[in-house]
Structure 1
Amino acid sequence: MWIKEIVQDLINKHQTNDFSVIAQQMNIQIVEHNLHEEIYGFYRYVRRNKYIFINSNLAEHKKKFVRVHELGHVVLHPDVDTPFMRSNTYFSVDKIEHQANRFAVELLISDELVQEYISEQLTIYDIAALHHIPVDLVKLKFKGLF
């Protein structure tokens, strides 16, 4: 539940859940670049500058999720260099990736929106399709609610 609280604090501080506004207010530079097809995006902190790199070859709906996922790293793991850790250590990055996914789902789909979807009798699959988010990630949101 701590991630939900961090997301809510972020929304309250910036008075929005809009990625673009939050990134601008946090002075995060967004860089779209032609990355290898297996790399959707990554976060880098260089000399007090924050950068989110997004694969320019992704569909817009995937870019949206990747941007918010990487924002999760900025907020939750500001000093972690996951590309370095993956290539130079034996440390598993699964936990921090899971946390960034949870952050993204919390930011993209509010509890109020979920309640609205439930009253409209939408399934998890419907919600996943609406937001272009994998079903397993939408399940994370529901796991946090019930």
Structure 2
Amino acid sequence: MWIKEIVENLVEKYGTNDPYEIASAKKIFVFEKNMHEEILGFYKYIRRNQFIFLNSNLNEREKIFTLAHELGHSEVHPRINAPSLKRKTLFSIDKIENEANRFAVELLLPDKLIYEHLDDRLTLHEIAEIYCVPKEVSHLKKF
């Protein structure tokens, strides 16, 4: 639950759950770069500066989730240069990658959005899809 608390505090502080707005407010440099199709993005910490690189070949939904994931690294593991997020990392059992995935899910899928869809008879996976959360990680939502 501690990751959920970090996310809730961050959203309250910046008044948004938009990863682009949060990264900008925190002065995290976000760059898009042409990368191999398997690489979604990565986070770097260099001399007290934080950088997030996104694969420019991703669609907008993938960019949002990838940025939220990398923002998770900046919040949960700020001084660790995380390995690149790869498509197969969505299924990772690695602790650091799992925590960043959990952060992204909590950021993009806050409880209030789930409550808004209670009458729609949608599954959690379907609601997650609406908010750019891949079905492969939607099970990480703590609700």
Instruction: List 4+ stretches of structure 1 deviating above 6 A.
Output: none
Consecutive unaligned residues of structure 1, counting only runs of 5 or more, are 85-91
SS at match of 2:12: helix
Supply the distance in 1 between the matched residues of 2:54 and 2:46 (Cα, whole angstroms): 16
- The aligned runs of 1:92-131 (5 Å cut-off) are 94-131=94-131
Aligned-pair CA distance for 1:128: 3.3
Q: Which residue of 2 aligns with 1:87?
A: none
Deviations, residues 81-128 of structure 1 (Å, cap 9, x unaligned)? 1239xxxxxxx9811111111101111111011112222211133223
Deviations, residues 55-91 of structure 1 (Å, cap 9, x unaligned)? 001111101100010000000001111239xxxxxxx
The one-letter amino acid paired with 2:53 is: F
SS at match of 1:40: strand
Identity %: 51
SS at match of 2:117: helix
Change (3 A) 1:8 1:94: same
Q: Does 1:9 align with 2:9?
A: yes
Aligned-pair CA distance for 1:130: 1.5
| Structure whose residues are more often helix by fraction | 1
Consecutive unaligned residues of structure 2, counting only runs of 5 or more, are 85-91
Change (3 A) 1:42 1:93: farther
Deviations, residues 28-81 of structure 1 (Å, cap 9, x unaligned)? 000100111111100001111110000001111101100010000000001111
Q: Which residue of 1 aligns with 2:30?
A: 30
**Computing the radius of gyration over CA atoms, which structure comes out larger, 1 or 2?**
1
Q: Which residue of 2 aligns with 1:133?
A: 133
The one-letter amino acid paired with 1:21 is: E
The alignment covers a number of residue pairs equal to 136
SS at match of 1:57: coil
Q: Does 1:66 align with 2:33?
A: no
Q: Which residue of 1 aligns with 2:50?
A: 50
TM-score norm. by structure 1 comes to: 0.86
Change (3 A) 1:93 1:51: farther
Deviates more, 1:72-81 or 1:11-20: 11-20
Aligned-pair CA distance for 1:14: 1.1
